[in-house]
Structure 1
Amino acid sequence: MDVTDIVDREFDTYDETTAVSKLRGAFDDSSRKALVITRDGRFEGLVTRRDVLSSHEKTSRKARSLVRPVPTIGPDEDIREVARLMIAGDTNVLPVLDGDELVGLVRADDLLRRVQASLAILEAGDVITTDVVSIEPDESLGRALSTFRTERIRHLPVVSSEDGADVVGIVSLSDVLEFVTRELQRSQGGNADAQSRTAASSGGSHGGFGAREGESADLLALPVRNVMVEALGTTRAEESLDEVLETMFEFGGSSAIVLDEDGSLAGIVTKTDMLESLTWSEERQLPIQVFGTDLMAETTRDGLAERIEDVTRKYRDMRLLEAKVHFQEHTERLRGTPLVLARVRLYTDRGLFIASGEGYGDRHAFSLALNAVERQILEGKTDGRTKKSATDSELAKMYGWVLSD
């Protein structure tokens, strides 16, 4: 099954020199989640709604400062590969190139609609995340943002403070970003550039978009109930995945709350979980490709897959999608055993990890390469997760609501 019939060939593009203020306007006027950025007429990358909302860039800055590279696909790409690339690239939109020419876009919602009937073979319980982090309605938006950051998640079920079980709403990272951005713009009268020019001409600052730290911190002190969505899409673990998807479309959400028989919180299912299910093999084993199998004297494909899964299983916030292992022989030998180069590539929802190792024999080389990959994962985990709780002021700076130089 390929994406030929779901490629959207009508789309707008924005040159890399487009002002960020114009990009914000494009998002305000539509339900789009990503904009296509070009350079000299050629595809350059995407700017997402979240990129713009969480940016510290002034509105006079150009699109090139926010553009992110994403994987590209061909007009007849296989749907499973598209799902894998969306997860690995952390994007719900993929550009379609025919040669060097941008000919269309494929969106996650359209892809899921295309395969919705096939999802009926799975249940919500097959993809559910049960280790759910939740928040109470009276906790602050700053606490929510801190949780999004440290837990590397984008949705927080809001549970009753009385017993911690009754789900009363849900809040997403986008909900918080849009709320704070909207309120800050409203309090400042809207046009950042105009205010900056007025301040400059009068020889001083009148607050403007460059002095909003206090206001943003005040907004982050507001309770989550101010932003949470109360109209929930809920499901049960035994409900088929196609029905869960229909619930998401009905409520306009990207996740569904899974409830126990007594109505308490059991877990959460997201559209990303559904995309990931499309990448499973029939046996639901790790998809692993091995190149240079003639050099595997001490290892087997199943053995390699098991060791890779043992490593990645340690990191519950990371999903492993696919692995590739390359073996290459050198002429050097030690007591008859060749020097082997092993290269390991792990495609995950946190990005692509690549490392190499050289050793005498395939087992030694693979072990060194896998150890190097794990060090990369650990470094990424350390950079992305910190035990230090950010203050509301620090969060305001982190998410770009102090638009100063």
Structure 2
Amino acid sequence: MDIADIVIREYVEVDAGKRLGKVRAIFERENPKGIVVTEDGEYAGVIGERQLVQSHIEDNTKASALMKSAPRIDRYEDIREVARVLVEGGVKIAPVYEGEKLYGVITEDAILDAVIENLDALTVEQIYTEDIVTIDDDDRVGRAINRLREHGISRLPVVDDGNLVGVVTTHDIVDFVVRDQDRQGKRDRAGDIDRMLDLPVYDLMSSPVVTATPGETVQTAVERMLAENIAGLIVTPEDDDSEILGVVTKTDVLRALTFTEEEQMDVQITNIGLLDTITREEITNAITEVADKYSRMQVHHAHVRFHEHKEKLRGTPLIQAQIRLRTSHGQLAGSGEGYGAEHAFHVALDKLERNVLELKGVNADEKYQGQLLRKLGEL
């Protein structure tokens, strides 16, 4: 299936130098699904619908400050490949071209709408993310913001004594700032920010939480996300909605669309633009080498996610790498940080292998026994 018939023609095209105040005015007047940013007449990036509406960047700021890079997509591209492009680019919208002509935009929601009837073949248990980051309800908003940035995520389940009581997202925080300043008018901006950072998370969190259970179909979960206009659900047991098992997001669903049944392991990379001295092929080979060391463990899918921190060393950014495997023995993960994507990836890969070593029921192939025994001795 290609995307020819689901491309959205309603989009706004603006110059990178246009002020966001004017962009917002155009957006509110024309109500498009996305904005394409050009520079000197050439495509430069995109601004998503929610990204523009909920951003609190000053109106006199140039549009280029809010745009994200997204690759050009052909109108007749296969929908699975488009899903891969959006996930790997870390974007929810991309420009669609017919030849050299900008034809429209494709969005995450448009893809999900198109395939939703086929998602009853998957369950939430098959695609949700188990490794999650939480925050206590009495923690301060400043700490929530730091966790969201540190882990490169957009939502945090909120807990009270370990029980799920709410969820706070980047959009909740931006919404609060916008509402508060609209209500109070112009005041001391630094004082407003300090006051907000010191608020407890329970003042901003959404509750009750919209959830999913592992046994539900992905179709049901996506229908709920679209109906509630949210990007993710907290996964809880069917008989206990206070226990957190994980999170399932629209991005997880797009990622599942790219799963293959080929013999070669499917590896997906998010924020692939951060790769510096390492290639996709080298990443795939390294993960395959680790997976091949263990008998009775089949790797169905591998996801590698890179996140850039502001810190740099001699111009090289500090990168966080996360590797997640979906295997016949469940999910396995490893994460690490380093200066540059290659360093970060190998730190995460080493952590992943150590986690595999601790997994019961998975044995190393004989030719790797000596190497692994030495690794175990280092633990």
TM-score range, shorter chain: 0.5 to 0.7
Q: Which moved more, 1:32-41 or 1:264-273?
A: 32-41
**Of the two structures, which has the highest relative contact order with CA contacts closer than 8 Å and spacing of 6 or more?**
1
Match of 1:172 among 165, 169, 173: 169
Relative distance call for 1:102 and 1:213 in structure 2 (3 A) is same
Question: Structure 2 CA distance, aligned partners of 1:279 and 1:121?
Answer: 14
Native 8 Å contact 1:232 1:251 kept in 2: no
- C-alpha distance in 2, partners of 1:216/1:380? 35
Instruction: Give the % identical residues.
Output: 33
**Cα offset, 1:88, TM superposition:** 1.1
Report the secondary structure of 1:43's partner residue: strand
Alignment of 1:34-183 (within 5 A): 34-48=34-48, 49-50=50-51, 58-159=58-159, 161=160, 163-165=161-163, 167-183=164-180
Aligned counterpart for 1:286 among listed residues 261, 265, 269: 265
Q: Which moved more, 1:26-35 or 1:246-255?
A: 26-35
Equivalent residue, structure 1, for 2:184: 187
Task: Give the SS at the match of 1:268.
Answer: strand
Distance 1:150 1:103, change over 3 A: same
Answer whether contact 1:184 1:216 (CA < 8 A) is retained: no
- Whichever of the two has the greater Rg, that structure is 1
1:262 to 234, 240, 244: 240
Which of 369, 374, 383 is the equivalent residue of 2:342? 374
Q: 1 CA distance for matches of 2:116 and 2:263?
A: 19
Q: Does the 8 Å contact 1:72/1:94 carry over to 2?
A: yes
Q: The residue matched to 2:206 in structure 1 has which SS?
A: coil
8 A contact 1:72–1:95 mirrored in 2: yes
Confirm or deny that 1:242 pairs with 2:194: no
- Counting matched residue pairs gives 294
Asked if 1 retains the 8 angstrom alpha-carbon contact of 2:2 and 2:79, the reply is yes
Instruction: Give, in angstroms, the shift of residue 139 of structure 1.
Output: 1.9
SS in 2 for 1:8: coil
Contact 1:90 1:350 in 2 (8 A): no
1:164 is aligned with what amino acid? G
Change (3 A) 1:147 1:97: same
Residues 19, 60 of structure 2: 8 Å contact kept:
yes
Cα distance, 1:288–1:181 mapped onto 2, change above 3 Å: closer
1:55 Cα deviation after fit? 7.0
Report the 3-state secondary structure (helix = DSSP H, G, I; strand = E; otherwise coil) of the residue aligned with 1:4: coil
9 and 27 in structure 1: CA distance in 2 versus 1, 3 angstrom threshold: closer
Q: Which deviates the most, 213-222 or 37-46?
A: 37-46
User: Which residue of structure 2 lines up, in the alignment, with residue 306 of structure 1?
Assistant: 288
8 Å contact 2:12–2:27 — kept in the other structure? no
Q: Which amino acid aligns with 1:74?
A: D
Distance of 1:30 and 1:133 partners within structure 2: 38
CA distance in 1, matches of 2:256, 2:224: 18
Unpaired runs of 5+ residues, structure 1, are 190-206, 290-301, 311-317, 322-348, 352-371, 382-405
Alignment of 1:208-219 (within 5 A): 212-219=189-196
Partner residue, 2:201:
224
How many angstroms apart in 2 are the aligned matches of 1:284 and 1:169?
41
Q: In structure 2, do the counterparts of structure 1 residues 107 and 236 end up closer, same or farther at CA, with 3 Å as the change threshold?
A: same
Which residue of the other structure, out of 306, 319, 322, is the alignment partner of 2:303? 319
CA distance in 1, matches of 2:348, 2:34: 25
Deviation of 1:252 (Å): 1.6
CA deviation vs aligned residue, 1:229-260 (integer Å, no higher than 9, x gap): 22432111011111111111122211111111
251 and 284 in structure 1: CA distance in 2 versus 1, 3 angstrom threshold: farther
- Structure-2-length-normalised TM-score: 0.67
